[in-house]
Amino acid sequence: MRIIVLHGKDPYLVTARTREVIALLKQEHGDIEQFEYDGETADPADVLDELRSYGLIQQHKLVVLNNADAFLAAKGPHDDGRHRRLMETYAKGPVDNATLLMRADTWRAGNLDKHIKKVGAIFKLDPPDADKATAWCMRRIESEYNAHLEPAAAHRLVEQIGPDLARLDVEMAKLAAFVGSGEQVKVQHVIELVGMSREEKVWEIQSAIASGSPAHALTKLRELMSVSNHPTELVIWAICDLLKKTHAAARLLREGVNPHAVGRQLRLFGDSAQPILAAAQRCKPAVLASLLRQAIETDANNKSGLGDSTRSLEVLTIQIADTIGAPLR
């Protein structure tokens, strides 16, 4: 297959199928080179030149074109439909040393489809129904998070979230972190923890820390812990998630990726996006990685009963906010 199209609105399914494509290409060609373009901003000449050029050691290439629907629909004063016509021409005679993977939320059928199907395939990735999503959750939490999800809890989780695998995966990670390795997630855990998540109260700690104000972060932490009675495990999970996203953003920004593209890639939306990007610009990736390691160690100590969990979480929150708030750390 020289051209593959994956389209669907569930990012988890698209990502999972992408991993399968990569694994198959490696199985057939050994090591491969990977290149990625954003269809909203990519120039067709750059994408086609990458496909047609040979790598330094002539490895097989995988060229991923994200937002392919926007790329094909691009219009200008003198190039209405030009992008689609260029891709139709390429699809009539794609090179043998590269695979083009086009990913999109939606896909408009046309002449391009006929050419693609002769040299590749088009896959529509529909989200599963409730029963399949429930069965998937029970398998996924065991294989990925080393926890167990009782059937009733799985049904309740899908009932509350819907069959969105990406969101379900996030919720299962939090549930598994709360109950601990090898333990079982019960209906009551879903009712309490997923309910909190949907209210998005616990995630307020992320914007409070990202503000760079230790006082504000500490006040929010005490509000969540003392007033709203959020579990320590869930709060520290949110802190670790913040540090992971900020560390990834810092690395991408230093590689020259523009902030808008970083936000899209890391799925930073709403009011939380700007504070995280600002923190990523101020902090070096190594500093954020060190803070993440400290947060993970704090979580491990708390679960082992070492020290005062509330006190250690307060110290961690102050240190992270102080570091993030300082210029060019």
**CATH number of 33's domain:** 3.40.50.300
Query: Phi and psi for 61 in degrees, rounded to 5?
Result: -105, 145
Residue 27: enclosing H or E segment and its boundaries? helix 11-29
> Structure tokens of 217?
């972060």
The count of residues in the chain is: 329
Two tokens at 300?
A: 């491990």
Same domain, 96 and 168: no
Give dist(CA 310, CA 299) in Å, integer: 11
DSSP classification of residue 107:
-
With bands split at pLDDT 50, 70 and 90, how would you rate the model's confidence at 189?
A: very high
- Contact (Cβ atoms closer than 8 angstroms) between residue 157 and residue 149: yes
Residues 215 and 321 occupy one common structural domain:
yes
CA distance 187 to 1: 45
Q: Which of these three, 154, 183, 199, is where a domain ends?
A: 199
Query: Residue 88 has what pLDDT?
Result: 95
Residues 114 and 48 in one domain: yes
Same structural domain, 134 and 120: no
Interhelix angle for 11-29 vs 165-179, to 10°? Answer: 90
The encoded tokens of residue 75 equal: 């219009």
DSSP code per residue over 178-201:
HH-TT-EE-HHHIIIIIHHHHHT-
Tell me: do 99 and 144 sit in the same domain.
no
Give the number of C-alpha atoms closer than 13 A to the C-alpha of residue 292, restricted to the C-beta side: 16
Kindly tell me if the per-residue pLDDT of 198 is higher than 60.
no
Q: At residue 252, what are phi and psi to the nearest 5 degrees?
A: -65, -40
Question: Percent of the chain at pLDDT above 70?
Answer: 91
Do 213 and 310 belong to one domain?
yes
pLDDT digits (tens, 9 = 90+) for 128-147: 888 999 999 999 999 999 99
Q: What is the CATH number of the domain that holds 163?
A: 1.10.8.60
User: 212: exposed, middle or buried (C-beta count within 10 Å: 0-12, 13-18, 19+)?
Assistant: buried
First-to-last C-alpha distance (Å) of the chain: 47
Reported confidence tier of residue 36, pLDDT bands at 50, 70, 90? very high
Based on the domain organization, do 195 and 208 belong to the same domain?
no
Residue 223's domain is classified under what CATH number? 1.20.272.10
Please tell me whether residues 74 and 98 are part of one structural domain: yes
Give the side-chain half-sphere CA count within 13 A for 143. Answer: 7
| E-only strand ranges, the chain | 3-7, 32-38, 60-66, 98-104, 120-124, 148-149, 184-185
Domain stops at, among 124, 153, 185: 124
Q: Assess whether 142 and 251 both reside in one domain.
A: no
Domain identity same for 36 and 50:
yes
pLDDT in tens, 111-123: 999 999 999 999 9
The tens digit of pLDDT for each residue in 47-60 reads: 999 999 876 667 89
Give the residue with greater pLDDT, 97 vs 228.
97
pLDDT of residue 54: 76
Residue 3, helix vs strand vs coil = strand
Specify whether 115 is located in the same domain as 36: yes
- What's the domain range around 176? 130-199
Q: How many domains does the chain have?
A: 3
Regarding whether 117 and 33 lie in a shared domain, the answer is yes
Last residue of a domain, one of 199, 233, 251: 199
